[in-house]
Structure formats: structure tokens, C-alpha cells
Amino acid sequence: MEIEEFEELVKQAVASLPQFFKDKMENVEVVVEEWPTMDIARGRLLLGLYQGLPKTVYGRDYRPTIGDKITIFKGPIEWISQGNPNTVKKIVIDTVEHEIAHHFGISDQRLWELKKS
């Protein structure tokens, strides 16, 4: 899949979020990169990465001066999906939602609990 097509999937995933969340996403950039450049534990793949200060940490009246960043990694998502376009789209949506949840202060553990229930 071409990078532009993948970026469009990410844009669509952000656009499909409930308006409530889109209204509260301040100072967040969502970008696409081919592969992560940081070291990842052996046997693991990083599909997305949230870098910033979750909204629950800085509160209602504080606005950080440096924006938060969500990176969605094209290579690992394509690898997991084995190139299936429908699977790529589903994983992109799940990954975007997962990383945005981190922006709102929801931990991996809590996300796992919510998925089980």
C-alpha cells in the first residue's frame, strides 16, 4: 500500500471518532511513519505510539506549550494484516483509537479491561 493511501486511512479513522473526542483533542498531531526507530522488545511490534502529557495529568486549565504526537506505524500494521486491505483498515482504526485513549489518560491495562467486558 502506498504511503498516501495509508495516511488517508489514518485521517479517516480520526475523522470517524465521536465528535465529543474530536472536540477535546487539542494540540495533538497524528502522523504516519513506516517503522518505529526505537528499540522494541524482541517478539513485539509497535503499531502506534503516543508521545505527550495525557489530559488527565495537566488538568482543565493548563495547556502544554509543546503539542502531543500520535504516530501510526505503517510497516508493522501491513505485516500483521498480511496485506489484506480490510484488515489494514481495521487495525488502523483500532490503533488510532488506542493511541487517542492514551491522550485522554487511559492506560493499556484499563483498555484491556474494557475490551474484556
Mean pLDDT of the chain: 87
d(CA 66, CA 105): 17
Q: What does the domain layout of the chain look like in residue ranges? A: 3-116
How much of the chain, in percent, has pLDDT values that exceed 70? Answer: 90
The pTM score is: 0.85
Residues 68-80 have a mean pLDDT of 95
> In this predicted model, what pLDDT tens digit does every residue of 22-61 receive, in sequence order?
888 878 899 999 999 888 877 788 999 999 877 777 655 5
CATH class of domain segment(s) 3-116:
alpha beta
d(CA 98, CA 114): 12
Question: Do 98 and 48 touch, CB atoms closer than 8 A?
Answer: yes
Distances (CA, A) of 36 to 41, 69, 109, 115: 12, 14, 22, 25
